[in-house]
Amino acid sequence: MFRLISLVIISVWSFGVVRSAAILEGRPYHDEPYYPTDLDGANSSKYRELSAGLKWSKSLLTYNIINYPAVVPREVIGSTIRQAFDAWSAVTNLDFMEDADAGRVDIQVSFEGMNHYRRGVPCQFSQEITLAHAFFPEAGDIHFNTKYFFTDDTSIEQFLNTAVHEIGHSLGLLHSSSRDSIMYGAQLNNFLSKPQPEDIQAIQAIYGVRSETRPTTPTPPTTRPTSKTPKPRTTTKLCSLQSFDTIVIDHRGDICVLADRFYYNLNETNPPARKLSAKWPKLPPKVDAAVTYRDQKTYFFKGQQYWKYDRRQLEERYPRPTAVGFPGVPPNLDAMLLVKGGGFLAFKDQQYWFYDTRKAKPVEWYYPKSTRSEFAGFPERLDAALVTPEGRRFIFSGLRYWEIDDNSNVIGREGNVRRDWFNC
């Protein structure tokens, strides 16, 4: 998804001296860098996360202008930013409120140099020619490049245009290929000052048409109904397990079998059932699939979402939709298997998809393929798949398992999970 955002950068520009507004034509508002360090392309340790497709879960958003350029009166900046927020608020069900508590606002607006910080974490414009950049929901912060705001030749019209564009990103909009859209990826000379028909349609698809009455107070967050049925207190011994959800090697190299709300560490002798939440806080029961990538981050998939852990810590803003982090990979997976060159195989029913992290379009059009036609002797359905630290690849179905030859994709002899893995 994030690849949609990366800009087609205008070939070669000499930006040593910017003299007229005309030369600004075609300059990117922002570009979203793509760091392939993580399996899902997100690198949240640098706050580079791109959450396109996500939205704000509330309708009243607060903002604060953290700093001001010296050469323009503060009121001018304040009223222009206000005008930009109002332009969006006029067409969709969102309200924006300036809040003096800069640390707690939803959207921090600031003027920054090439290298700067966002809420204490290093942030930078990935190119000198970047006018501004913004974080997607629910991060939202907007940084204007001080190199361009405000020098002698930048106008309020240009600033307003940039602000409306960046707020569009803060609210979850991607770039448009249409030059008539405020979300066009580069600044044009006509300096649109508000969302255009296409943009209005896009924002209303996320937050709805502006309703007549505007809420005056923030709506309290709705609490989810909780299940009244008490959860069973008894745990199943490893050797009594009839089935399990998945197997994953954790960041320490321990092989963990996950079953419902519990996990068993196979590197212990007679491992007890331990609570999932004790090891991976906030991880739901009954996960579909899991994998630990080479950077030691562990990913769990369930339904339409995935959870990403840095050791035992759930990374910020997870879970995320699988469709956003791994475009082309279906929901409700059965198992995932890392492959040598990068990427993974995703299994579901009798089909599989190859997700190649090195490619701009990670899943080719000819997927899914049939497991049984590609792998001789493949079981009907998988529960789990695992690559050992030595690089051996295993697939699991119920209490049976098979090893796959890494080069030939030939499935080996069927083995007994209880005997060989559980040591029962």
Q: Which residues bind Zn ion (CB under 5 A)?
A: 29-30, 123, 143
Q: How far is the CB of 79 from Zn ion (least distance, A)?
A: 23
**Contact (CB, 8 A) for 381 and 397:** yes
Pairing label, strands 60-65, 95-98: parallel
Q: How far apart are CA 173 and CA 189, in angstroms?
A: 21
Query: Catalytic: which of 49, 112, 138, 166?
Result: 166
Comparing CB distances to Zn ion, the nearer of 186 and 335 is: 186
Comparing CB distances to Zn ion, the nearer of 131 and 287 is: 131
Q: How far apart are CA 370 and CA 381, in angstroms?
A: 11
Pairing label, strands 60-65, 107-112: parallel
Comparing CB distances to Zn ion, the nearer of 148 and 264 is: 148
Q: How far is the CB of 324 from Zn ion (least distance, A)?
A: 18
Of 298, 310, 238, residue with least CA distance to 273: 238
- Tokens 């991607």, located at residue: 174
Let me know if 128 is a catalytic residue.
no
| Structure token digits, residue 316 | 């910020």
Q: How far is the CB of 110 from Zn ion (least distance, A)?
A: 8
**Contact (CB, 8 A) for 198 and 180:** yes
Q: How far is the CB of 134 from Zn ion (least distance, A)?
A: 7
Comparing CB distances to Zn ion, the nearer of 65 and 123 is: 123
Strands of 415-416's sheet in order across: 384-387, 393-397, 400-404, 415-416
Comparing CB distances to Zn ion, the nearer of 123 and 256 is: 123
Q: How far is the CB of 207 from Zn ion (least distance, A)?
A: 19
Q: Rounded to the nearest 5 degrees, what angle is found at the Cα of 50, between the Cα atoms of 45 and 52?
A: 155
- Tokens 């570009």, located at residue: 31
CB burial string 322-353: b at 16+ within 10 A, e below: bbbbbbbbbeebbbbbbeeebbbbbbbebbbb
Q: How far apart are CA 133 and CA 108, in angstroms?
A: 12
Residues labelled catalytic: 166
